[in-house]
Structure formats: structure tokens, C-alpha cells
DNA sequence: AAGAAGATTCGCT
DNA sequence: GCGAATCTTCTTA
């Protein structure tokens, strides 16, 4: 299965809404790995979230993958998500993880090496990227750290860019 | 030890 | 649009 990442959110070092803010714990350990590793956690009793670490070892920061445009293996994704709606397959972080069968077994995996899950280089030309505040958080709510491909229908949430003063 | 919150989703109205 | 589902983690609200 493959997909194009169309929506992300950054949780940089020191951000009070980031899981690393209160230091390293059993759950967030992989967030402190080197850049390019997977940090997977379970939330709300229903959903897995997939993050890519983004800083030097020991820092603790990452990027949440919020949506992908399904490209290959669509029938498998439909089965994993138990729906026929292409647009809903991976629109939202929990749906993305479900479609790709992301779970705790992938926590800590190197996404820049060959393995069960990896990041590749985009084939299509980069389109216009918009930014807004992040979705679903309660702290640091004003930071414009959500990024998305403006014209892409597989993006979850608003596709209108905010103005940065 | 207990309780609340949480980077969400789904189904019903 | 709203509320329930569901469970792990961290705080003491």
C-alpha cells in the first residue's frame, strides 16, 4: 500500500501540546529517537496516530501524519477501514492508521530504511501548501503548524489558509 | 487509588 | 451538530 501525504501537523520541541513536553515516559520513548522514526500511540480507545520524529536524538519532537491520498493497495485499505468510500479511507489521522494497519508494532520503526513502513520521495509535483492552526488540541492552539495541500480533497478539516500576521 | 483528559471516529438526529 | 465509545496515561483537576 502506498499513499501521498497531504496533511500534517508539527509538534516542535518545547511545544506544550506535544507528548514530549513533560519528558520521556514509557509511552513516548520513540519520540526521542533520531529523525525519521515512527512514533505510534493509541488514543481515545479507538485510534492509532502515526508521527514521524523530526529532531536529533533525545530532543523529542515529531510530525503527525493526518491524511494521505491513497495511491496503491486501495482495495486492501477499504477492507481495513470497512468502507467503500475512497475519500474517507485515510482522511484523518486515525483513519490513516487504520487503512495502513498502523499499530503499536510499528512504534520505533526506522522510516528511512527498508522495512514494514517507510517514507519515499513524492513523485507528483508539489502543489500549493496551506497552513492553519492544529486540530483537536487544547494547548498552544494558536500556532499555525498544520500544513496541507490546498486543492486536495483527501485533506481532513478546513482547507482554507489562515493569514499569518 | 481514583479520575480526568486526550493530536478521534462513528452513528444518530 | 452532538454525544457515546473505549482505554491508556498521567495527575491529583
- Tens digits of per-residue pLDDT, A12-53? 999 999 999 999 999 999 999 999 999 999 999 999 999 999
Distance from C-alpha of A123 to C-alpha of A132, rounded to nearest angstrom: 25
Nearest nucleotide to the CA of A51, by C1', is: B7
Distance from C-alpha of A122 to C-alpha of A141, rounded to nearest angstrom: 30
Coil vs helix vs strand at A157: coil
Residue A165 lies in a domain: no
CB proximity list for A77: less than 8 A, separation 6 or greater: A1, A70, A89, A90, A99, A100
- The domain tally of chain A equals 1
Residue A14 lies in a domain: yes
Q: A127 CA to B3 C1', in Å?
A: 46
Supply the CATH number for residue A34's domain. Answer: 3.10.300.10
Q: A125 CA to B2 C1', in Å?
A: 53
**CA dist list (Å): A6 to A40, A62, A68, A150, A156:** 19, 16, 5, 9, 9
Chain B: nucleotides below 7 Å from protein CB are 5-10
Residue A23 lies in a domain: yes
Nearest 5°: the CA angle A114, A96, A74 is 80
A window 12-31: Cβ near strand C (< 7 A): 22, 25-28
Q: A136 CA to B9 C1', in Å?
A: 13
Question: Which pLDDT tens digits describe chain A residue by residue (165 residues)?
Answer: 999 999 999 999 999 999 999 999 999 999 999 999 999 999 999 999 999 999 999 999 999 999 999 999 999 999 999 999 999 999 999 999 999 999 999 999 999 999 999 999 988 888 899 999 999 999 999 999 999 999 999 999 889 988 666
The range of the structural domain enclosing residue A96 comes to 2-149
**Per-residue pLDDT, A97:** 98
C-alpha of A144 from chain center: 16
Q: A149 CA to B11 C1', in Å?
A: 29
Residue A134 lies in a domain: yes
Residue A127 lies in a domain: yes
Amino acid at each position: 500500500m502506498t499513499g501521498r501525504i497531504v496533511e500534517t501537523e508539527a509538534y516542535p520541541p518545547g511545544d506544550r501540546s506535544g507528548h514530549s513536553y513533560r519528558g520521556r515516559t514509557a509511552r513516548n520513548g520513540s519520540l526521542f529517537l533520531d529523525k525519521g522514526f515512527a512514533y505510534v500511540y493509541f488514543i481515545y480507545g479507538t485510534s492509532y496516530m502515526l508521527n514521524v520524529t523530526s529532531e536529533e536524538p533525545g530532543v523529542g519532537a515529531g510530525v503527525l501524519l493526518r491524511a494521505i491520498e491513497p495511491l496503491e493497495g486501495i482495495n486492501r485499505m477499504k477492507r481495513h477501514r470497512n468502507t467503500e468510500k475512497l475519500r474517507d479511507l485515510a482522511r484523518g489521522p486515525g483513519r490513516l492508521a487504520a487503512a495502513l494497519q498502523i499499530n503499536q508494532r510499528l512504534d520505533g520503526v526506522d522510516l528511512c530504511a527498508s522495512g514494514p513502513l517507510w517514507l519515499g520521495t513524492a513523485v507528483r509535483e508539489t502543489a500549493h501548501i496551506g497552513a492553519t492552526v492544529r486540530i483537536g488540541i487544547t494547548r498552544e492552539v494558536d500556532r499555525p503548524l498544520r500544513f496541507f495541500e490546498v486543492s486536495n480533497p483527501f485533506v481532513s478539516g478546513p482547507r482554507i489558509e489562515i493569514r499569518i500576521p
